[in-house]
Amino acid sequence: MLLHFEYFLLASLLCWVGSWITMVIKKPVPSITATLALSGSIVLMLFVALLWIELDRPPLRTLGETRLWYSVVLSLIGALLYIRWRFSAILFYCHFLSLVFLVINFFKPDTFSKTLMPALQSPWFVPHVIVYMIAYACLGASFVVACAGLIKRFSKWTAVRCIELADRLVYVGFGFLTLGLVFGALWAKEAWGHYWTWDPKETWAFISWGVYLVYIHKQLRGTINVRSSLWVLSISFVALLVCWFGINYLPAAQNSVHVYSQ
Amino acid sequence: MEEKQSKVLWESPWGYAESFLITFGVFIACLALDASVGAAPRLSFPDNLIAGGLIIVTIIISFIIKSKNHALLWLSSIPAAIASITLFVVVSVLMATIPQTDGAINPFYSILESWMYNGAYVLVLLTLGNATLKRLWPLEFKNATYILNHLGLFIALFAGGIGAGDVQKVNMKLFEGSSVFHAHDKDNNEIVFPFAVELTKFSMEEFLPKIALVDSNNDIITKNGRMCMVDMDTVNPMQVGDVSFSVKDFYAHAQYWEKSYRPVYDYGSAPVAKIQIEGVDTTNWLSNGNFMCPPAFVQVADSIYLKMVKPAPKRFYSKVKIYTPEAELPAHETIEVNYPLEVGDWKLYQVSYDESKGKWSRTSGIELVKDPWLPWVYVGLFMMIAGSVLLIFRKKKNDNLELDK
């Protein structure tokens, strides 16, 4: 096993800490912040690419591997949001959330293996999981932005603008979430003979999809209420986390085809 | 979510309070049905078509005359949408948290067959249908995202739900050399097919087996939270846990006789490796064995053994011959996981095999599925894909940007 995750994690951490420093000093240098933020993400993308080559299969099978993709995409979203809107708190929060998942991977390392069961050897495997990871990262970022709105410490940004940005992220995230759901259904028909079987993962995927759908509709009516927006967004995010991780721990779900393999 | 203080309940337009009251009422009514009438009927052709037609007619009529009636105006509103989605989500949460079995008397243990599930489903169709009609006509390009998402979801849900009763799923067990043209479904009804399936050969390719450290109970040992199990490497020295060794020889197919394993490709062959542990002069055999081949493992410490784990399947498929009345000669086809075979109205899926024999299985489990409403579900799903892509690139801002304290 030639790839040492620790080195890549350290390199990313150094880049990101560098980006935070250049953000909070008296004379911030946004171009360096952006470069360092992106570099940290690129280092991780390099790890994923090398892992893909080493394992001879897409590294999307285990929970740890999905956490890795989530961290990469979320940190990229944070960097893009910073470049576009100079929203420094968001960069920090996205990096923080990414690091949480990366550190979990460090302490709970995967047993990297080349085996990929026949059911996963399908052209749908990569698009289905990647689209979901992008969705989760966008929706995670929207949750973080909404929290920032509630805290109201950032005078440059009013609570309303925070919710506005959160909503935009929800639209993007929800679009990808729907794609993930539909790709899963189309794949299931080819693999198992039916597009929807109310498998625990599918049920929770529908639940998290449904709650975000409620949020989107709620924001289209009346005037925006920061508090209630945040409440519904939080519940949605919790449902999403249950769908992603929670079902691996639910006893009712152990026989699901979606339980991540070791 | 606050209503203006001056509004009286049930005064038009209806808002969130009325929506949740109505939805709650629907839920209670459904529970009452579940308690009294029992399971909701599973409708198949032509009853499901009639029920579906009634729903569509109801939606269209309610849309046309809605200006005359508070309730009908409410059906296409956002609070109605939110309430109906919420009800369906609540029913789903029940399904996700309460263990479900088929045919239970208590509707909470068999939600898919209950009135509360079907009632929530119909309510979603009614609100979604009305919401769709709201911007369907006249057809305008600026409504493309809205129409694709709403109408797409409606078509997928309608075809999937109404058509569920027409789905037929049958399991067939094939034996090498014999042909089968009938099977039983889960209710033990016999189904005769207009074609026959003969299994010529079941085949399987396997990954290289893994090597692991196990204890006396055959559980894999963990070190620092990681399982001591690695993919086998026939080239470089290996390390599993604290044990270093190298693989001197590997036979993907071997049999055991005269106190040794010899490479032979035949029924009952198993993968076998000859290893040399670091610091030890002699070599050892490692094999998971199988129904014909004995296993071999090495004790490396007190209650710690080095063993070869049963290799994981990489690919398995059934080579079949399909006999149809129209064709003189049978068609030679393959059925593989993720690559089902289409024969007439049926699709054949590779589901299982005799796991005790592994790659030497001479039986193959096939599932045959007939789903006449599937094309419509696909139409809905592809509309949703298009709608989602448009949603991702949506540029429209929400107009209600004032803060509501």
pLDDT, tens digit, 9 for 90 and up, residues B347-387: 999 999 999 999 999 999 999 999 999 999 999 999 999 99
CB < 8 Å to B81, chain A: 217
User: Are A70 and A137 in contact, with CB atoms under 8 Å apart?
Assistant: yes
Amino acid identity for residue B378 in this structure? Y
Q: What is the mean pLDDT of residues B270-294?
A: 92
User: Which chain A residues are closer than 8 Å to B207 by Cβ?
Assistant: 114-115
Three-class DSSP category at B84: helix
Cα dihedral: B369, B374, B377, B378 (round 10): 100
Give residue A57's pLDDT band: very low, low, confident or very high (50, 70, 90). confident
Q: Report the predicted TM-score, pTM, of the whole model to 2 decimal places.
A: 0.86
Crossing angle between the packed helical segments A30-55 and A88-107, to the nearest 10 degrees: 30
Residue of chain B nearest A55, judged by CA positions: B231
For the CA atoms of A95, A97, A103, A108, the dihedral, rounded to the nearest 10 degrees, stands at -150
Looking at the complex, report in whole angstroms how far the Cα of residue A22 sits from the nearest Cα belonging to chain B.
32
Looking at the complex, does the CB of residue A249 fall below 8 Å from at least one CB of chain B? no
Least confident segment among A109-113, B175-179, B184-188, B382-386: A109-113
Spatial separation of the C-alpha atoms in residues A214 and A229, rounded to whole Å: 11
Q: How far is CA B118 from CA B43, B61, B224, in A?
A: 11, 21, 49
Residue type, B110: S
User: If you average pLDDT over residues A128-146, what whole number do you get?
Assistant: 88
Mean pLDDT of B268-274: 94
Measured between CA atoms, the residue of chain B closest to residue A232 is: B1
The residue type found at B113 is E
Which residue matches tokens 């409440």? A231
In angstroms, what separates the C-alpha of B322 from chain A's closest C-alpha? 19
Give A85→chain B minimum CA distance, Å. Answer: 16
Q: Rounded to an integer, what distance in angstroms lies between the CA atom of residue A90 and that of residue A148?
A: 8
User: Tell me, what's the ipTM?
Assistant: 0.87
